[in-house]
Amino acid sequence: MGFEWDDHIALSRRDEGSFDADLEQGWTVGGGVNGGYLLSVIGNAISQTLPGKPDPVSVSAHYLSATTPGPATVSTRVLREGGRFATVAADLAQGAGTRITALATYADLSALPDEVSTTAVEPDIAPRDQCVSNEFAPAELRKVAPLMDRFDLLFDPTCIGWAVGEPSRRGLLQGWFRLKDGRDPDPIELLMVCDALPPVSMDFGVMGWAPTLELTVHVRAVPAPGWVKVSHRTRNIAGGMFEEDCEVWDSAGRLVAQSRQLAMWPRA
Amino acid sequence: MGFEWDDHIALSRRDEGSFDADLEQGWTVGGGVNGGYLLSVIGNAISQTLPGKPDPVSVSAHYLSATTPGPATVSTRVLREGGRFATVAADLAQGAGTRITALATYADLSALPDEVSTTAVEPDIAPRDQCVSNEFAPAELRKVAPLMDRFDLLFDPTCIGWAVGEPSRRGLLQGWFRLKDGRDPDPIELLMVCDALPPVSMDFGVMGWAPTLELTVHVRAVPAPGWVKVSHRTRNIAGGMFEEDCEVWDSAGRLVAQSRQLAMWPRA
């Protein structure tokens, strides 16, 4: 059986370095298309451009203007090949307008050395049966955020107070994440996971949309099958912007992705 | 009086979007040119390309190949202008080879809102007169690392054990930083500061060079005059790579830059 995710990030190759995509309505939130999903679409195009180096190691994207569902073009340009790493520039465009521009370094993650030494601490998230599922979100919210039907997101109970008017004000959102129908994670999918949760500004009771200026994701390992833990944290709100640091940990207890984005603080 | 820093990052404009640079021998370390200095050279070119938006807000650079002192070209291409932000692609090349490719979002930092809300904690660094100055580095080290003559770097005494064979193994380097002759920091200079310290791998007793794959710097405010505090931390060494998270705090106690780089773990 195919999973909807694979259809949603599918591309048809137009020529050497350009691809047609059909951006899925189901990944919209508040009218815009989720930036993490778009990064996975771009990441998929880069992967197909690089035989033998399928996996993102580091992807940096600057978001220029809002994307709408429907046709889009991803163009890739290989800047360096050879050795263990390749570097590629990629743009996602609709009509004449570039929406997202990205730089990426790719490799074959499974061919890298196995040693791991981590002092980072796995997010402390309650067991799944004690978490609050996004399936309990009010119908009117789901209507403006169809992306919530794309995945199971189980919020740690200490991070969901904002939904009932009692934000924790710690600048922390965390929970369990899994694509719909239990599709297992992979390196390309992790690009989306790093931007799938609501903005951490909600943990301050600020409910608006937080447009991403820049998002960099480092994929540190191929994720094991199963649920992942995701945490989003901000520690500096300044100049009308905030950083959002994300970690993704896999079911084997390994830190598989680290990302940071700089986003606009929502208008009150 | 002019400061050497301003000469070292100086450019002569060739045309609308391309600049000639002369990369300074004095910023080399182990034969290569420091990647932070190079990012400031690129950042300076972008600044000169964008009237009214002089300051980096977010700069993402992927390092393709080693740079040598001498002539280089920086070419810039404006991807978005208008409103508060502009986005630019920039490459630094020597001869036919692109050495660094970057994407940057710029603005006028002084025109952004003043409010700040920070839960990040200022690095705990001993007073300057209790720190260990880079001027005490052995002569043979200074010979392979001329960049150490470009700035005053005062290491917190708890972070310098590696220099005498007793690394703390915490994955933490921090100290006070100031350009030579007391030149005050500015947003372009902060791009360098985020990559000026030795690699944090040294705090594990691993003394080799750690080539940068990717470096993203967010400049969060115009720094106040005076010394800055710099901290470098890693929490995940895996697949032969490690992330290095840097914070720069200014003399007014404000978090002025946050960066993360992904670098190769040095060969033993």
Q: What is the pLDDT of residues B76-92, one digit of tens each?
A: 999 999 899 999 999 99
Query: Above pLDDT 90, what percent of chain A?
Result: 89
- A171 and B221: CB-CB below 8 Å? no
Nearest to B62 by CA among A85, A21, A8, A105: A105
Q: What are the structure tokens assigned to A191, written together?
A: 């690009």
Note whether residue A50 is domain-resident: yes
Has residue A59 been placed in a domain?
A: yes
Instruction: Answer whether residue A28 is part of any domain.
Output: yes
Residue B51 distance to chain A (closest CA, Å) = 19
Beta bridge mates, B98: B93
Segment B194-213, tens digit of pLDDT: 999 999 999 999 988 899 99
For B176, the domain range is 4-109+122-264
By the 8 A CB rule, do A229 and A173 touch? no
Domain count, chain A: 1
User: Which residue has 């067991």 as its token pair?
Assistant: A127
CATH of the domain at A21: 2.40.160.210
Query: Chain B neighbours among A 204-263 (CB < 8 Å)?
Result: 213-214, 216, 218, 220-221, 235-241, 243, 255, 258, 260, 262
Position A189 in a domain: yes
- pLDDT > 70? residue B1: no
Q: How far B101 CA sits from the closest chain A CA (Å)? A: 8
Residue A116 belongs to some domain of the structure: no
Place of tokens 């940990």: A249
Distance in Å, alpha carbon of A42 to nearest chain B alpha carbon: 16
What values do phi and psi take at A167, rounded to 5?
-65, 145
Is A138 or A64 the better-scoring residue by pLDDT? Answer: A64
A86-96 tens-digit pLDDT: 999 999 999 98
For residues A167-191, average pLDDT: 97
Q: Which amino acid is at A214?
A: E
Judging contacts by C-beta atoms under 8 Å, the chain A residues touching residue B119 are 170-171, 235-236
Among candidate residues B10, B7, B43, B6, the one with its CA nearest the CA of residue B257 = B43
The answer for A 97-136 residues in CB contact with B (under 8 A) is 98, 101-105, 109, 112-120
pLDDT per residue as tens digits for the range B94-143: 998 999 999 999 999 999 998 999 999 999 999 999 999 998 888 887 88
B183 vs A16: which has the higher pLDDT: B183
- pLDDT of B165 above 70: yes
Instruction: Show the tokens assigned to A101.
Output: 């521009």
Contact call for residues A71 and A21 (beta carbons, < 8 A): yes
Residue A199 counted as domain residue: yes
**Chain A residues with CB-CB distance to B203 below 8 A:** none
Q: What distance in Å separates the CA atoms of residue A63 and residue B7, rounded to the nearest whole number? A: 33
Instruction: Tell me what the mean pLDDT of segment B161-165 comes to.
Output: 91
Is the C-alpha dihedral spanning B138, B143, B146, B150 positive or negative? positive
Is A114 within the bounds of a domain? no
The mean pLDDT value for A56-82 works out to: 97
Q: In a 3-state reduction of DSSP, which class is residue B221?
A: coil
Mean pLDDT of B20-26: 97
Q: Is residue B114 a part of any domain in this protein?
A: no
Report H helices in B19-135. Answer: 35-49
First to last CA, chain B: 44
CA distance A238 to chain B (A): 4
Residues 7-26 of A with CB under 8 A from B: none
Position B202, amino acid = M
Q: Looking at beta carbons, which residues of chain A come within 8 Å of B260? A: 216, 218, 258, 260
